[in-house]
A = this chain, B = another copy of it.
Amino acid sequence: MFRHSQLESVKSWLTHPASAALPLHARIQRAIRQMILDGAIAPGRPLPASRALAVSLGVSRDTVEAAYTQLHAEGFIERRVGSGSFVADGSGFPVRPRRQSSGAMVSPPALSRRGTMMAMGGGVREAASPHPFAPGIPETRTFPLALWERLQRQVMKEAGTRALLHGDPQGVEPLRRAIADYVNLERGARASPDQVLVLTCAQQAMMLCATVLLDPGERIYLEDPAYYGARRAFEAAGLDCVPVPVDGQGITVAPVLDDPRPARALCLTPSHQFPTGATLALDRRLALIDWAARQQAWIIEDDYDSEFHYAGRPTACVQGLDPHGRTIYIGTFTKSLFPGLRIGYAVLPPHLVQPMTAARTLLDGHTAPLAQLTLARFMEGGHFGAHVRSMRSLYARRLDVLSGLVRRHLSGRLEAHCPAGGLQMACGLTDATTEQAAVEAARAAGVTLLGLSGLYADRNSPGISGFLLGFAAYTTTEMEEAVKALAGAFGRLRGAGHS
């Protein structure tokens, strides 16, 4: 029979709240297993007869037998007919010394160098619940969910359990066709469905490009300022990000064209530069296309929210202007539909389709077929176009409201720079308040501000001070309250002799 302390140990397992989900026999099995691993019952020692232990624990004999059977199957005990059960010999128990040295601190496990770099700053985090003025979040409260559900039911009815299987890693054909039609029509692209690769999001597309097209240590041009997600993806892939300044017409091209040591690729946001909102001028697009052809370099075009252009129609995408097949066009439904959908895409030069698809399977296999089929149905029915149009006018109104509010309540503090499109507006700080102080004051007032300086390669560049204010996901009332809260918070800063 167990000693008193051993019995008490088993009993505590039986009653501990953490064991509540386990059946009785499993609790007994775990208790005995742990004692064996700890060395509390030595190798070769006998276990109590199941009947006796059952009586001591107040359980049925069958329960103890089930525990012993499992311990035996796992190799913890041996059972000898006529002799009983014994702790197995030579299996490596105990796993640790019986007396834990309480003074020894275990140092936190070490990550790799690249792991440390990837984890820095918490990764690419979106605000969990939208609140002013977190940028990059679309309005989802008015999404036609009932319609989406109806289409999903149709799809499940038609496809049945076939939709549960592995999908084509390149993406289901109806969706690739709908995406090709869309980018050709609305974005001036030149794409066949065979050039479309369905992915999870723009982030994944950039990660893929970074690893498949460039080796660690190679250089890639990045707009300065730029989207932090792009920079982090490229750094995680071991690339050397070369910042290229941006002006009112988008990325400046002279630094690229004049570079005696040209980089292998260039990543840009030509529709609405993130974060300045500028649209890249046509002559610069053509110059970069020419550069990429001469250098056999790649252009990674991140067209993440081009649907939302408020002044007329957006300029034709670079991919459609590039006759040399050096441009990878990246799009996503995260902003135009909803973030939880997890569908994005790349339009690839034909030669890249097979290798990028193969590489993607090493990352995460394929995108969920049911979601893809539902989205294809949504687009084929014209609902995507309708939704985008309705969101576009909503966002245009909200941009108007926000810039008016900033002018009315924050003049002398912030200067609004209305973008040609997109879901966020850049504002410059016009007084001596530091970005840091303003961000903290805002946070204390319950308002989120994304500082612009962190989006620059050199945070300490002179003259760059301000914020990116999201507006798409917030009502007039919500924005008005938040701007007034900001005004109050900034006012208190001024009163306190701000730093």
Residue numbers of A with Cβ under 8 A of B are 21-22, 26, 30, 33, 37, 69-70, 73-76, 88, 90-93, 95-96, 106, 108-116, 118-130, 137, 140-143, 145, 149, 153, 156, 160-161, 163-169, 181, 184-185, 188, 199-201, 203-204, 207, 211-216, 218, 229, 232-233, 236, 238, 281-283, 286-287, 289-290, 296, 298, 312-313, 315-316, 321, 323-326, 338-342, 349, 351-352, 354-371
Contact = CB atoms under 8 A, between A and B. Distances in A.
A199 B238 CA distance: 23
A272 to B, nearest CB: 15
Contacts of A33: 188, 316
8 contacts: A91-B282, A114-B216, A118-B358, A123-B357, A128-B168, A140-B164, A207-B364, A342-B365
Given A75-B281, A342-B367, A364-B204, A218 B92 contact: no
A203 B123 contact: no
Across the A-B interface, give the 6 residue pairs with the lowest CB-CB distance, nearest first. A123-B358, A75-B282, A92-B286, A123-B361, A115-B212, A119-B355
B287 A358 contact: no
Contact of A200 (B130, B145, B359, B365): B365
Contacts of A118: 211-212, 355, 358-359, 362
- The quantity of this chain's copies bound in the complex is 2
A462 to B, nearest CB: 30
A56 B93 CA distance: 92
A30 B313 CA distance: 14
A351 B181 CA distance: 47
Contact of A215 (B112, B121, B128, B232): B112
Nearest to A167: B340
Contacts of A282: 74-76, 88, 91-92
Contacts of A338: 161, 164-165
Contacts of A207: 362-364
A81 B130 CA distance: 47
A214 B112 contact: yes
A252 to B, nearest CB: 15
Contacts of A352: 109, 111
Contact of A362 (B130, B161, B233): B233
B212 A363 contact: no
Contacts of A114: 211-212, 215-216
Contact of A339 (B166, B213, B233): B166
A188 B73 CA distance: 13
A176 to B, nearest CB: 14
Nearest to A315: B74
B185 A21 contact: yes
Contacts of A201: 364-365
